[in-house]
Amino acid sequence: GGNNAGHTVVVDGKEYDFHLFPSGIINPKAISFIGNGVVIHLPGLFEEAEKNEKKGLKDWEKRLIISDRAHIVFDFHQAVDGLQEVQRQAQEGKNIGTTKKGIGPTYSSKAARTGLRICDLLSDFDEFSSRFKNLAQQYKSMFPTLEIDIEGQLKKLKGYAEKIRPMVRDGVYFMYEALHGSPKKILVEGANAALLDIDFGTYPFVTSSNCTVGGVCTGLGVPPQHVGDVYGVVKAYTTRVGIGAFPTEQINEIGELLQSRGHEWGVTTGRKRRCGWLDLVILKYAHMINGFTALALTKLDILDVLDEIKIGVAYKLGGKRIPYFPANQEILQKVEVEYETMPGWKTDTTGARKWEDLPPKAQNYIRCVENHVGVPVKWVGVGKSRESMIQLF
C-alpha cells in the first residue's frame, strides 16, 4: 500500500499517526525499512515527517531506509484517482471509496510497466524526466480535464531526490543481510486488512496491493522459509470502511454505539467506519490465507456496556451452511448469518492488565473466538495505550 492506510500509535501518552512510516520509527533502537511493495508519495512522506517531528519524533532520517525498487506515486496519480472515483459514481452509481491518494493508479502504472521507481529518480535525471513526461502524457490523453504542471513537478522531484538519497538502499540486499547477519528481531507491518487484499479481499471494494502474508515475500524480497510467526490483529467486533458487502453489519443503535465508543473513523480520511458483530467466518477465511500462529484481539473494552453480545459463526445460503467465504459480492449480500449469543460482562475492563483481571464473561468471549477459529489469542487490548495490551502467554 502507500499513505492510504493509517496506523495510530500511542506511546507515553503521545498519539502518532503513521501512513508511510513504519510504526517502529518511534523506537530509537529500531531500523525502519520501507519495502519495494510500497508505493511512495514523496511529498506525503515529508509532510508526515513534519507532523510527527512536532510531536517529538527525532532523527527519523537516520533510522529510515527506503527500497530503491519501490514505485513512486506522482501528484497526477492522485488527481487521476479522484477523477476515476467521480467517473465510477457517474457511470455505475457507486464508487470504490478509495482514499484518493493515488494508490490504484500507481499500481496500475506498475502493472502496465510504465511506472517509475525510486532507483529511476536517483539515476539519470534526464532519462527519468522523459519517462515522467510520457507517463503524464498518457494520463492527459485518457483524462482530457487533467492538468499537470510537468516542469514544476519535475523540479520538486529533483529536490526530493536529494533529500532521500542518503536513505535509499538496494532493498533486496538489505533484507538478505538482515536475515543472514547477526541475529535480530524482524517485525513486518502490513497496511490495510486481509479483506482488502487485491486477490483475496471483497473485490472490487479492495485496495490495490497484497496486504495478506504473501506481501511479506513479494513486498520485501524475504523468502517464505524465513517467515516465522504470523499474528492476526482483529477487533472484538467487525468494522468496514467504504462500500461493499458486510453480513454482520448493525445499522441500528448497536452499530452506532460501537462506532461512537470505538471512535470508528479512519485515520487517513476521517470517514466513519461501518460497525457490526464479530464475524468469525471472515476471521476463519483470513486464517485460511495467512495461517495465523496467534491473534491479538483488540478493543475488547468497547463491548463493556452491552447486555448481550453476538458472534457471527456461520453463513447460510438458501438455508444451508456454507464452509467457504463467497467471492462474489452479490452472493455475499444474500448470505444469512448464524449467530451465537453470549451475555455481556457489563464491567469496565480498561484497567485490566492481566488475564485474571478480566471478568469471567469476557474470558468466555475470548475463549469462544479461540475455539471457533482454532488459533490462540496471545494479546487482548482494552485501551489505546501500550500498557492496555494484556499478554496471555
Q: Which residues are catalytic?
A: 110
**Distances in whole angstroms, Cα of residue 76 to Cα of each of 38, 147, 150, 339:** 18, 8, 10, 46
The neighbour count for residue 151, using CB atoms within 10 Å, is 10
**Distances in whole angstroms, Cα of residue 266 to Cα of each of 248, 262, 335:** 20, 11, 27
Helix or strand or coil: residue 386?
helix
Burial of 11 (0-12, 13-18, 19+ CB in 10 A): middle
**Distances in whole angstroms, Cα of residue 100 to Cα of each of 3, 133, 322:** 10, 22, 36
Inter-residue contact 88 to 95 (CB < 8 Å) = yes
Rounded to whole angstroms, the Cα distance separating 189 from 299 reads 19
Rounded to whole angstroms, the Cα distance separating 139 from 143 reads 6
**CA-CA-CA-CA torsion for 367, 369, 373, 378, nearest 10 degrees?**
-70
Quote the cell numbers at residue 244.
461493499
**Phi, then psi, of 280 in degrees rounded to 5:** -75, -20
Quote the cell numbers at residue 45.
512522506
The separation between the first and the last C-alpha atoms of the chain, rounded to the nearest angstrom, is: 32
Strand pairing partners for 71? 39, 117
The neighbour count for residue 165, using CB atoms within 10 Å, is 12
Q: Which helix (H) or strand (E) holds 72?
A: strand 71-72
